[in-house]
Structure 1
Amino acid sequence: MKQVKIGCYSAFWGDSASAVKQFLENEEPKLDYLVADYLAELTMGLLARSVAASKKGYISEFLDLVLAPYLDLILKKGVKIVTNAGGLDPVGLKQAIDEHVKSRGLDSRIEVAAVYGDNILSDFSKLAEQDAFTQFDPLSGASSSPEAGLDRADDLLSLNAYIGAEPITEALKQGATIVVTGRCVDSALVLGPLAFEYGWEYEMTQTNLDHLASASLAGHVIECGAQATGGNFTDWRLSAFSSHGGWSNMGYPILTFNEDDTFSITKPEKTGGVVSRASVIEQMLYEVLDPENYVLPDVVVDMSRVQVSEIKPGHVLVRGAKGKPPSPWLKCTAVQQRGHRIAVDFLVCGEEAEDKARCLGAALIERTNTIAAQQLPGTINPIGSSDSAIALIGNESSLGSAASQEKRREVVLRVSARHSNRKVLDILSKEAASFLTNSCPGVCLLTSGRARSSPNFVASSILVKRSKVIPQVRTDTGSTIAVTLRTEGCQLIEAAKTRIQASSQPKALPRNGRKLVRLHQLAIARSGDKGDSANIAIIARDPNHYQHLVEQLSPELVFAQFSHFIAPGGQVTRFEVPGVSALNFVLTRSLGGGGLSSLRLDRQAKTYGQLLLAGTTLEAPPASRIMSNL
């Protein structure tokens, strides 16, 4: 049975560049492919600014820190590389790689292909006239909370459609050994090579769709690097104190895909971290909204009945993903710059530290507005309440009603603000220092020097007809191949049958006199963001307790836990994932406008899962085997 081995060394632009050494400097593992994910909404905004300043629109670190220093090892091992480091200029990155390879005299041994065509910014007006766009709903088919669309393109920095794996497969068919793409979905970096290796078609038969779904799920599990091997893991001690260095030597994931659509996850030998059923399930549900309809350009994945099991220590087997026809629409993400933002951090200590900090924060915003009105009369609006945040760190404010009422004697105060005029934020930065001597006792700045403002990016999503996006493949022959995406057989998404929505908290919490336990004792969790929505996956530690969680952990209860984060119109929707004994909660309008522009402490819902575990108590299951050591 043919197996294909793929390693992932990067989850985002900024991940450890040293991770690639795990796969190249040792005899094992023997990989067929290395993949690397570099792109996120913030990355696209930063690259767009770079292009506007006549600089590079791609991730140059891929060439500088990975390809150039390890090129000889890459050739020795015969491993192919697929990455989305092309960003806004995949062709530019291909040319830079070609020049480097030629300077080394290795151009006869390496074929580089660029996949592009995802950038539709220049076509926005034409496509809008053709009614090619529609609103994006994070829960397609569920009538939840559609996000606002775009009405013009003159202030956009970038507008990219999420394309799929088919052009990557085509690039490999053309003989490419290195494929660089723009804004494809992360899992396509894995699906593309697997479709090439197994000779799969992208036609919409059920057999093909199941192939594509299994491979896409495999890509989703490893795309975030060490998050599948013990990073962000609820039972963190197992990872932090693991053999071979724990977190200081974290292993990155290795995927072994089998011809029968099953796959296993492991990591390089003599690396830290943990690969277990629990760590893989946490990552499987990360940033997933509807588990029955994980929408991708090539296929819609139903992971609700997926089975995950440990075949031996450190080796986890995954099986059972099912495919559905893709949607006739592709998701697009637009990035705009709307003014600037700033954050100033103070340490406030002593008695009444929390009250002092709140008073200081309010006074700083008020003084800034007063001085701005004097220095810039008639042209400046004050910093409004919706464009400022006074956040206390260390007093459990993120836990909302579940926070401890104990008064803290040490907190960090963060004062954040946005404004269209950078001069207003410069005033805030200058005035912050004066509060060290003219406000409360026991205060100091946590930064050296004045805080600096930065561009305030805003991301928004819309849908574009897939027939209007035509990916292109540029090869070393100089030819360009257009890949026409299949449209026949596409289907609109139907809402999952297990979906339950809530837009309010429960009126009462019936307890029936039973013993109460913390949710952390019954479950593990992983959370993430999609625009202004968050997901929280709750996985039963003991599958025998899954039905108890279904009965006890309602969307109303989760709404109550996060009501201080959910904006008007936001909802909590619960989905059941019985295959892995999990519940997935989606919280719309819960991130303060989305990760790029939010003034929240946590702009990407990274903490939401742990907050839910820590702040929620449930009735104990009958005759429960509760973890006594937590």
Structure 2
Amino acid sequence: MIRIGCGAGFSADRLGPACDLIEHGRLDVIIFECVGERTLAFGHRDRLANPGKGYNAQLESRMRRILPLCRRHGTKLVTNMGAANPKAAAEATLRIARELGLTGLKVAYVIGDEVTDQLSPDTPLWEGGTVADVGLKLVGANAYIGSDALLPAIQAGADVVIAGRVSDPALVVAPLRNHYGWAEDDWTRLGAGTLAGHLLECGMQITGGYFADPGRKDVPRLAECGFPIAEIDPDGGVVITKLAHAGGCVTPMTVKEQLLYEVHDPARYLTPDVTADFSRVGIEEVGPDRVRLSGGSGRERPPELKVTVGFDGGYLAEGGISYAGPNAGARARLARDVLEERMAETLGNDAKLRLDLIGISSLHGTATEYPSDAQDVRVRAALRSTDRDKAETLLWEVESLLCCGPAGGGGYRGAITPSVVTYSASIARDRVPTRFEMEAA
């Protein structure tokens, strides 16, 4: 029985529970899933500015804490923290390993997922139109590669495997294929392994974190929530659990929510490894914080790979001002209307403006405004543009409301930050060859 833990479910996840998991979880492997579409695009921006960057911003902090623990407990690490620059991520990891005296630690990095040079202005996008139609500077494009890309590095004895845009479940499927010797066309087991990877990939979502909703779905000791562990048998059957002393919970309800998370069609979940089928999965509670899943399956993998295409979104200007007390809602609406009128002449085809009333209606871009008697409202103005002058103008207009009215505005804050935009495309599998390099500390 192989035990695999998840130490991160997104780029900036907590570190403490991951260290706890390595220390006490008796793990064979720990995965860190740290790449999303936007984080990858930002990685490309960072690498363009500095060829030595482009990997996960928390990589050094994480490696300094977890490498000694992994060495002590014999736990292998598989991660996509390489983002847009796996080679530089591996070099940083080796440097830290040498500083810590971890002689002989083998660090491998996987490359080949970047396909920027294979895209053309005419490349069609899933959202409609072409790369050229986006009208923004292309910063990078990466194919979702699978366990085939990771497996050779694991088989070569790597203690740490660092990839870029590998599919999330593949971080688990590759160690499973190595441990149990699953064939690359054993669709049933690959589908079951993908189920295990999908359940682990989002960290605390399955141990109660993102599940928590007080009074409806209560979770014990949420501040001390632990990361999940998967015990996976040779046929892909899996038990999800956590450390007994950690906060949070693993129940059929937490498992069901994660099972369906981001799965558009449970009978046809497309991944680089397999077309997974979760439609006949059985879920059984087999003990405190222990849930068994069986029945994961799959069919032949798709002939094409998904590609994340990142563009430089220019500048994101975001400013806010608050209104409180009687009639605050009406004053906030007036401030919003003033901003809309004042910015009308500044906007062009390259700029997108959004105005929200936080406390009345602000989360859903398609939602209609609902009635409110709120007496504490914040006007939020956001503008995305390739023209910094337009971004500056928005902040100027928001701050001007302090004296230009309506009455009672205060607490202005404003900032301009870089932004990215992502789209999706497809590429033939045979156009994405991968390889790995390995070096010992």
TM-score under structure 1 normalisation?
A: 0.65
* Structure 1 residue 82: Cα displacement: 0.2
C-alpha deviations, 1:186-219, integer Å up to 9, x for none? Answer: 111111101100001102xxxx101111111111
* Structure 1 residue 384: Cα displacement: 7.0
Contact 2:350 2:385 in 1 (8 A): no
Q: Which residue of 2 aligns with 1:68?
A: 64
Q: Which moved more, 1:264-273 or 1:347-356?
A: 347-356
Contact 2:317 2:415 in 1 (8 A): yes
Q: What are the within-5 Å matches in structure 2 for residues 105-504 of structure 1?
A: 105-108=101-104, 110-125=105-120, 135-136=125-126, 146-151=127-132, 155-203=137-185, 208-233=186-211, 235-237=213-215, 242=220, 246-368=221-343, 382=347, 387-395=352-360, 405-445=371-411, 447=413, 451-476=414-439
Q: Secondary structure at the match of 1:39?
A: coil
Mapped to 1, the partners of 2:337 and 2:437 lie a distance apart of: 55
Mapped to 2, the partners of 1:347 and 1:308 lie a distance apart of: 48
Q: Which residue of 2 aligns with 1:19?
A: 17
Mapped to 2, the partners of 1:192 and 1:81 lie a distance apart of: 12
Q: C-alpha root-mean-square deviation of aligned residues, in Å?
A: 2.6
Mapped to 2, the partners of 1:154 and 1:404 lie a distance apart of: 35
Mapped to 2, the partners of 1:404 and 1:455 lie a distance apart of: 32
Distance 1:383 1:124, change over 3 A: closer
Mapped to 1, the partners of 2:385 and 2:125 lie a distance apart of: 27
Distance 1:258 1:470, change over 3 A: same
Q: Secondary structure at the match of 1:452?
A: strand
C-alpha deviations, 1:319-376, integer Å up to 9, x for none? Answer: 1111011111100011111332212122222333323212212212433455xxxxxx
Equivalent residue letter for 2:22: L
Mapped to 1, the partners of 2:184 and 2:199 lie a distance apart of: 21
Given the alignment of the two structures, is residue 57 of structure 1 paired with residue 39 of structure 2, yes or no? no
* Structure 1 residue 37: Cα displacement: 0.9
C-alpha deviations, 1:122-143, integer Å up to 9, x for none? Answer: 2334xx89xxx6543xxxxxxx
How many positions carry a matched residue from both structures?
438
Mapped to 2, the partners of 1:429 and 1:87 lie a distance apart of: 32
Structure with larger RCO (C-alpha < 8 A, sep 6+): 2
* Structure 1 residue 182: Cα displacement: 0.9
Mapped to 1, the partners of 2:6 and 2:245 lie a distance apart of: 17
Q: Which residue of 2 aligns with 1:518?
A: none
Contact 1:20 1:66 in 2 (8 A): no
Distance 1:253 1:446, change over 3 A: farther
Q: Which residue of 1 aligns with 2:8?
A: 10
Equivalent residue letter for 1:149: T
Contact 1:148 1:460 in 2 (8 A): no
Q: Secondary structure at the match of 2:258?
A: helix
C-alpha deviations, 1:56-99, integer Å up to 9, x for none? Answer: 1212522x222223333211100000000111111222222223
Distance 1:22 1:117, change over 3 A: same
Q: Which ranges in structure 2 are unaligned for 5 or more consecutive residues?
A: none
C-alpha deviations, 1:103-140, integer Å up to 9, x for none? Answer: 444332x2111111000112334xx89xxx6543xxxx
Q: Percent identity?
A: 30
C-alpha deviations, 1:537-573, integer Å up to 9, x for none? Answer: xxxxxxxxxxxxxxxxxxxxxxxxxxxxxxxxxxxxx
Mapped to 1, the partners of 2:292 and 2:201 lie a distance apart of: 17
Mapped to 2, the partners of 1:103 and 1:420 lie a distance apart of: 42
Contact 1:358 1:390 in 2 (8 A): no
Q: Which residue of 2 aligns with 1:42?
A: 38
C-alpha deviations, 1:395-440, integer Å up to 9, x for none? Answer: 2565888986343232222111222211111122123222122212
